[in-house]
Structure 1
Amino acid sequence: MNQTAAQQLVFAMLDADGDGIVSREEYLARTTNVARAMGLDQDDPAVVTARTLGERAWESMDADGDGRLAFDQYAAWAGAEAFDTVCAPVLGALFDLADTDHDGALGLAEFTALRTALNNPAANAEAAFTALDADGDGRVGRDDYIASIRAHVTGDGSPMGSALYSAARAERLPA
């Protein structure tokens, strides 16, 4: 899958209401949704950290400051550098919210709760977990999780990314 197609799939997942625009509220709701799914209070220090990183990421993406992100803006911003400096810390913080036993890895239930809170269908999350759990130990490590998403959004290919952002979102892709 090329980088544009991969970005379209991610954008469609970020666009929770399917209107072709990712709003500030949609993007920032990701932390609230994960915290709620994991039973965490909004004032939990890990939730505050994830929210702060999410706000920084939004400010980086929304270059014109209008609170709305169209696909062309997202595509111009997204790439390896943005992922490494902005996205990876946010994704890591969200992963940490789902890591209920704080061991640096997620089991299937934690992974599915995380990804469904981030607007992926449960079936996609389970398929992605299976694709990422290469050794079959029933656990997905933080570094492997982030590396797999990076590979997807930069167009390098990722079985986990392909499963997460599959055809279930294809009808909502930006034109």
Structure 2
Amino acid sequence: MATDFQRRKISGIFGAMDADRDGLLTESDFRALTSRWLALRGTDTSTPEGERLAAIMMGWWGTLDDAAGNGGRVSLDEVLRVVDELPKMPGAVTGTADAMFEAVDENGDGAISAAEYHQMIEAWSGTGTSTDEVFAHLDLDGDGSLSREEFARHWFEFWAGDDPAAPGSWVFGRV
């Protein structure tokens, strides 16, 4: 059962993904999320980059929908039930981390810069947000970027963890 902390952090990201604010995640919510990503990148699905980005985002929807098992409508409680199972499935979580890393690493240099991270947060939230403090908290080695390994660790801590002090708890901003 999800703790209060898990419910708070997942509720925040759930709310950002629920584009129509109906309390359920649907394919159309993920299409809206995908559109935000594409718009921030200044591209669309007619380009190879846009097509790849859309495939990553919509693939995440397919995975969530399958895991929730509710036929195209996913409630917050269903997401939390999936989250309860994630510590037992580290490979699945790091697999989504790899896909998200690819989506966020816009220039393909193998690292997520502060600017790329900022763009990710704006795409997820749909609003302008200061990310300097959060990025500094996530950049464990202080090199100015997040490596694939750092990102995967943080992604796992966010989705499968329950430690408010873990840097990964800040992946989508301060909870």
TM-score, normalisation: structure 1: 0.74
Describe how 1:92-111 pairs up with structure 2 within 5 A: 92-111=98-117
The SS at the match of 2:131 is: helix
Give the drift of 1:141: 1.6
Give the drift of 1:131: 0.7
Name the residue aligned to 1:170: none
Name the residue aligned to 1:33: 36
5+ residue gaps, structure 1: 168-175
With over 3 angstroms needed to count, the CA separation of the structure-2 counterparts of 1:110 and 1:61, relative to structure 1, is: closer
CA distance in 1, matches of 2:132, 2:58: 28
Q: Number of residue pairs matched?
A: 165
Give the drift of 1:129: 0.9
Name the residue aligned to 2:174: 166
Name the residue aligned to 2:27: 24
Query: Which gives a bigger RCO, structure 1 or 2 (Cα 8 Å, sep 6+)?
Result: 1
CA distance in 2, matches of 1:142, 1:101: 14
CA distance in 2, matches of 1:82, 1:46: 29
With over 3 angstroms needed to count, the CA separation of the structure-2 counterparts of 1:6 and 1:84, relative to structure 1, is: farther
With over 3 angstroms needed to count, the CA separation of the structure-2 counterparts of 1:103 and 1:120, relative to structure 1, is: same
Alpha carbons 1:124, 1:163 under 8 Å: kept:
no
Q: Percent identity?
A: 23
Give the CA RMSD over aligned residues.
2.9
The SS at the match of 1:140 is: strand
CA distance in 2, matches of 1:152, 1:32: 24
With over 3 angstroms needed to count, the CA separation of the structure-2 counterparts of 1:51 and 1:77, relative to structure 1, is: same
Alpha carbons 2:24, 2:73 under 8 Å: kept:
yes
The answer to whether the aligner puts 1:146 opposite 2:145 as a matched pair is no
List per-residue Cα deviations over 1:43-74 (Å, max 9, x = no partner): 33343234334333323322222x32111111
List per-residue Cα deviations over 1:98-130 (Å, max 9, x = no partner): 323311112211110121111175445333211
Describe how 1:10-159 pairs up with structure 2 within 5 A: 10-62=13-65, 63-65=69-71, 67-78=72-83, 79-80=86-87, 84-85=91-92, 88-119=94-125, 122-123=128-129, 125-157=131-163, 158-159=166-167
The answer to whether the aligner puts 1:6 opposite 2:9 as a matched pair is yes
TM-score, normalisation: structure 2: 0.74
The SS at the match of 1:118 is: helix
5+ residue gaps, structure 2: none
CA distance in 2, matches of 1:57, 1:150: 15
